[in-house]
Structures are given as structure tokens and as C-alpha cells.
């Protein structure tokens, strides 16, 4: 199961009723986690089938809010990775950019860096090297920011 799905399921106790926004988020996170497990089982032998198994996650209704946006961005990053592995660089680029759209307005962090990395990989696969270099450069900027923040707070990188 994806670490993000596990974290959300732990934060939202399953004993609580599944009504309202928290309930919708809980049910959505559990559904997305199930799809990730299905994709995990397929990924080693058939990345295209894994992407197809995970893609319905994009249609799962999630409430507005930070946790749901993060879940969707993470889903976009995984799908972009699977599309790249399946040889569909255009699809990967669309997914990475859609995930970056989910991240718009949020502080940049590790998920933003991952989406920029997937964007760069897709651009590179499409032969758009200059744009890929720009995306990779943004990954480095975000990674440096994260490292600086961790050092400033006393946490180990």
C-alpha cells in the first residue's frame, strides 16, 4: 500500500462514521489504496495494465481540502510513472502536469519534486531536452529547499 494512503487511513480512524467530508476522504483513500495494491501486483510484468488498473482512482470523489489534493497529486505521480514505464511519454506528461495542478498554491515539497521529476522524464522521453532540463532544475531547487528546512529545524535529511 502506498505510504500516503496508509498515513491518511491512520489519521482518519476507521471507527468513526463514514459520513461527511472525513468519511468521504476515508472511503476514497481506502479505494485508492486498493487500486494501488492492484497496480503493484501488475507493475513488474505489465506497466500498461498497472496504469489501467490505477486510472479509475482519478474518478473517485474526494472532498475539497489538503489531504484530498495530496492524494490526487500522489495518484497522478504514480500514474505518470506507470505510463513512462509503459512507453506512453505523452500520457505521463499530461498526468504529471495534472498532478502539478493539484499542487498549485500549496507550499512546494517532496510531492512537487516528484511530479517535476516525472514531468522531466516525460519531456526527455519526448526529445524535449531543454524543457526536461528546466523541470530537473526545479526538482533540485525544491530538494534544496527541503534540505535547508530540515537542517534549520534540526531534523536529519
**pLDDT-above-90 percentage for the chain:** 65
* Residue 126, domain CATH: 1.25.40.10
C-alpha grid cell for residue 116?
517535476
Q: What is the pLDDT of residues 121-132, one digit of tens each?
A: 999 999 999 999
Grid-cell match 529545524, residue found: 153
Distance CA 5, CA 24 (A): 14
Q: How many domains does the chain have?
A: 1
Distance of CA 40 to the CA centre of its chain: 15
Grid-cell match 482519478, residue found: 58
Helices (H), 55-156: 66-85, 89-103, 110-125, 129-153
Note down pLDDT in tens along the chain; length 157 residues: 455 554 444 444 444 444 566 788 899 999 999 999 999 999 999 999 999 999 999 999 888 888 888 899 999 999 999 999 999 999 999 999 999 998 888 878 899 999 999 999 999 999 999 999 999 999 999 999 999 988 988 876 5
Identify the domain containing residue 25 by its residue range: 3-153
Among 142, 134, 133, 47, residue whose Cα is nearest residue 91: 47
Q: How many CB atoms lie within 10 A of CB 80?
A: 29
Amino acid at each position: 500500500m502506498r505510504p500516503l494512503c496508509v498515513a491518511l487511513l491512520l489519521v482518519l480512524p476507521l471507527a468513526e462514521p463514514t459520513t461527511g467530508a472525513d468519511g468521504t476522504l476515508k472511503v476514497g483513500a481506502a479505494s485508492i489504496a486498493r487500486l494501488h495494491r492492484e497496480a503493484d501486483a501488475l507493475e513488474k510484468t505489465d506497466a500498461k495494465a498497472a496504469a489501467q488498473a490505477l486510472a479509475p482512482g482519478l474518478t473517485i470523489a474526494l472532498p475539497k481540502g489538503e489531504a484530498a489534493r495530496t492524494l490526487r497529486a500522489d495518484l497522478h505521480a504514480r500514474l505518470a510513472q506507470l505510463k513512462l514505464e509503459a512507453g506512453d511519454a505523452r500520457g505521463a506528461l499530461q498526468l504529471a502536469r495534472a498532478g502539478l495542478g493539484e499542487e498549485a498554491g500549496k507550499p512546494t515539497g517532496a510531492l512537487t519534486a516528484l511530479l517535476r521529476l516525472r514531468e522531466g522524464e516525460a519531456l526527455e522521453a519526448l526529445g524535449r531536452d531543454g524543457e526536461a532540463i528546466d523541470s530537473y532544475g526545479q526538482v533540485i531547487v525544491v530538494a534544496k529547499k527541503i534540505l535547508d528546512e530540515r537542517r534549520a529545524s534540526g531534523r536529519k535529511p
